[in-house]
């Protein structure tokens, strides 16, 4: 039975000025594991607003043109 994917490094709170780009990062115990980024119940999809990058165990979410409601 395969071991579950866990977080090696959890997300940290980030502060960014409105209009700037926020970057959230985490690290997993297994490379290329499927990750869903959510805002409440909504699964975030790549768009002009959100970019999702994953390389090995590193996963990043870029939030472009950050606004107060992105908190």
The pLDDT tens digits of the residues spanning 16-41 come to: 999 999 999 999 999 989 999 998 89
- Domains of the chain, CATH where assigned: 7-70 (2.60.40.10)
The number of angstroms, rounded, from the C-alpha of 24 to the middle of its chain's C-alpha atoms is 5
Give me the chain's average pLDDT, please: 90
Backbone angles phi, psi at 65, to 5 degrees: 50, 55
- pLDDT at residue number 18: 94
- pLDDT at residue number 1: 66
Q: What is the mean pLDDT of residues 2-27?
A: 88
- The answer to whether 50 and 44 are in contact (CB under 8 A) is yes
- Least confidently predicted of 5-14, 49-58, 60-69: 5-14
d(CA 1, CA 47): 36
């Amino acid at each position: 039975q395969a071991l579950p994917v866990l977080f090696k490094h959890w997300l940290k709170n980030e502060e960014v000025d409105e209009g700037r780009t926020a970057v959230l990062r985490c690290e997993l115990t297994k490379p290329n594991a499927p990750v869903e980024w959510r805002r409440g119940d909504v699964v975030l999809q790549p768009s002009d607003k959100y970019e999702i990058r994953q390389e090995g165990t590193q996963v990043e979410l870029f939030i472009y043109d950050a606004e107060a409601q992105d908190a």
